[in-house]
A and B are shown apart, each in its own frame.
Chain A
Amino acid sequence: MVGSLIELKAASYRYPSGKKAIAEVDLSLPEGKKIALLGANGAGKSTLLLLLNGIYKPTNGELHYRGKQYRYNRKALQELRQKVGIVFQESDNQLIAPSVYEEVAFGLNNLYSDKKWIREQVEKYLDYFDLLELKHHSPHQLSSGQKKRICLASVLAMEPELIICDEPASNLDPQSSRATFELLDAQNKKGKTLLISTHNVNQAYVWADLVILLKEGAVLSIGSPKQVFSDAETLAEAGLEQPLLVKLARMHQPGMEAEELPENEAELVNRLTKNLCTDL
C-alpha cells in the first residue's frame, strides 16, 4: 500500500468574485502514480491544481502534505512549492526571463544560494531537455513545443516530488505532445508523482493509473481508468464522453465488465483478430 502524498479534507475554494470553484472536495493522491484530473472546461481543474501548490488558500477545509497540514506562512510555502511543481497551461503566461537559461534558473535561484550548484543543475536540465542550443534565445520567440519544454525544464529543475501539469497537451501538435508525455513518464519512472489535468478522455484512459472526475468543483468519481470510464452515465454528467477504446469494446461485446476492458489499442485489436479467427 502506497502512502498518500496529498490529502484534501473537505476543501472548498471560492474566488473573490464569489464564484465557488471547488466545493467540499475530499481527495487523497497516492505517491508515485500517474493521476489524471478530468473535467469539462470550467470544472475547476486549474483551481484545484493551484490549491495544491498553495497559490490559493482554501476558503474552507484542510490540505495535508505527507500527513502534515499546509501552513500558509512564507517559509512553509517556499518548502511546499519546491516539492509541488506546477506547469501552467499557457506557456506564455509562465515564461518571464529574457533568455532560456535564466528561465530554467529562475526557480532554483529563488530557492538556493549556492550559485555554482545552481549553474550545474541548470546545465544538466538544459541538456536533458535538449535546450542547450537555445539557451541564449528569448523564450517568447520559440515554438509552442519548445516553450512547453522550457516550462517543464524550469519546473523540474527544482526537483519537485509532485509534478502538476495543467492541460499539458493543449495547443501542442501530436509529436510535441508525445514528447512532453515521454518526458513526464521518465520522471514517473524515477518515482515522482504526476498529476495532469485534461479533458482528453482517450489520452487519460491509456495513460493514467488513477482518474479523478470533476464536475462543477466536486469530485464525481474516482478510481482506475477502467472503473471510471466504463460508467458512461457519470461521464456524460461530467460533460465528457467515453474513450474510443471503451466504446469499441462495448460495441463488440455489449455487457463487458469494467475489469475486462482492453488497456490499449493493441489489446483490443488482438482480441478482435482472435475472435475473427475462432469465428472462421
Chain B
Amino acid sequence: MWITEIYKHDHRLSKLSPTIRALYWAPAMVLTLVSGSVYFNFTMFLVINLFLLYVSRIRLSNLARLYRIPIVFILVGCMAIVLEIPATKAFVSLGKLSIGFSAHGIQLATLLVSRSLALISIMYFMLLTNTISEIAELMRKFRIPALLIDLFVITFKFIENLRNTGFEMHRAQKCRLGYSQKMKRIPLFAGLMAAVFHQSMQNARQLETAMQARCAGENYCFLQEERPYAISQLLIPVGLASMSAFLLLICGNYGW
C-alpha cells in the first residue's frame, strides 16, 4: 500500500490552498509535540483519524492498512523500554534471570506509543490531503533549503517508481507460476529485487530524459492550479486548533 495509490484528488480540502490546508494539521503537530499527556495524544489520534476518513474519502480498511508497518516498528521499539531484566515483579524467569515489566517503562512506553501514533496520523493526514508537489511548494514557502526539498521529492518519486516496478515484476513472476513452491521462493525473490533495481534505474533515467526534453532546470518545480484565499476558510481550522489547545490545557491542568 502506498500513499499515492489511495490518494483521492477530490478530497474535501482540495478546494483550499495548501497553505490553508496546513492550518488543519500544523497546529495539531505542534500541540502533540509539546504535549506530555497520554490522554491528549490518544484523543488526537482518534479525532484525526475520524476527521481524515471524512476528509480524504478513503476507506477505513485502506487507512488501517497504512498503519500496519509503523505499528510494528513502534511496538518492537517499545519492548526494549518496557522489559526489565532482572525484574522486581517478574512474570517469567529463565533460570536465575527474571524478566518482567517495569512500571516506569510502561509509563514511558504508553507516552511514546501515544505520541508516535498521534504524529503518524498527522503525517498521514498531511500526505493524504496534499500531493507531493503541494508539499514541496509548501516547504518552499517556508524557506526550507531547495536541496532538502528536491531530496524529499526525489526520494518520494524513487520509492514510487521502485514500488511500481516491483509490483509489476512480481505479478509477472506470479503469472508464470513462480512462488508456488516454497523452496523456490527465496532465490526468486532475490532475482526479483535485482531486476527491480535495474529496471527502476532505467525508468528513472528515462524520466530524467523526458524532463530534460521539457527544459527542466535543477529544481523540481511544478505549477499548481491557483486556489483562491478567503478569510472564511480560516474559521474551521482555527476553531479546531483552539479546541485542541484547550483540551491540552485541561489535560495539563489535571495532570492526566
Q: Which residues of A approach B to under 8 Å, CB–CB? A: 50, 53, 55, 77-78, 81-82, 85-86, 88, 90, 92-94, 96-99, 101-102, 105-111, 115, 118-119, 122, 135-138, 140, 154-155, 158
- B215 near A107: Cβ-Cβ < 8 Å: yes
Residue of A at shortest CB range from B157? A96
Centre residue among A86, A90, A94, A155 by max chain B CB count within 10 A? A94
- B215 near A110: Cβ-Cβ < 8 Å: yes
Question: In the complex, how many residues of chain B place their beta carbon closer than 8 angstroms to a beta carbon of chain A?
Answer: 28
**A118 and B14 alpha carbons, distance in the complex (Å):** 21
Q: Which one of B131, B157, B203, B225 lies within 8 Å of A93 (CB-CB)?
A: B203
Given contacts A102-B133, A105-B223, contact A55 B212 (CB under 8 A): yes
**A85 and B132 alpha carbons, distance in the complex (Å):** 26
Task: Let me know if B151 is at the binding interface, CB within 8 A.
Answer: no
Given contacts A98-B131, A110-B221, contact A55 B211 (CB under 8 A): no
Known: A119-B223, A119-B226, A136-B10. 4 other contacts (CB 8 A): A81-B214, A94-B207, A94-B210, A110-B221
**A77 and B216 alpha carbons, distance in the complex (Å):** 11
Chain A residues contacting B214 (CB-CB under 8 Å) are 81, 85, 106-107, 110, 154-155, 158
Given contacts A110-B214, A110-B217, contact A98 B203 (CB under 8 A): no
Residue of A at shortest CB range from B10? A136
Task: Let me know if B107 is at the binding interface, CB within 8 A.
Answer: no
- CB pairs A–B below 8 angstroms (7 shown): A81-B212, A82-B215, A94-B207, A105-B222, A110-B221, A122-B223, A136-B14
Task: Let me know if B198 is at the binding interface, CB within 8 A.
Answer: no
Chain B residues contacting A53 (CB-CB under 8 Å) are 213
Residue of A at shortest CB range from B134? A98
Q: Which residues of B approach A to under 8 Å, CB–CB? A: 4, 7, 9-10, 14, 131-134, 157, 203, 206-207, 209-217, 221-226
Residue of B at shortest CB range from A158? B214
Chain B residues contacting A118 (CB-CB under 8 Å) are 223
Work out how many contacts link A and B, with CB atoms closer than 8 A.
90
Given contacts A102-B224, A118-B223, contact A96 B7 (CB under 8 A): no
Chain B residues contacting A108 (CB-CB under 8 Å) are 223
Chain B residues contacting A81 (CB-CB under 8 Å) are 212-215
**A105 and B206 alpha carbons, distance in the complex (Å):** 19
Residue of B at shortest CB range from A94? B210
A37 to nearest B CB, angstroms?
17
**A234 and B97 alpha carbons, distance in the complex (Å):** 86
Chain B residues contacting A94 (CB-CB under 8 Å) are 206-207, 210
Chain B residues contacting A85 (CB-CB under 8 Å) are 213-214
Residue of A at shortest CB range from B217? A110
Chain B residues contacting A107 (CB-CB under 8 Å) are 214-215
A95 to nearest B CB, angstroms?
8
**A105 and B225 alpha carbons, distance in the complex (Å):** 9
B222 to nearest A CB, angstroms?
4
Q: Which one of A93, A98, A115 lies within 8 Å of B206 (CB-CB)?
A: A93
- B222 near A97: Cβ-Cβ < 8 Å: yes
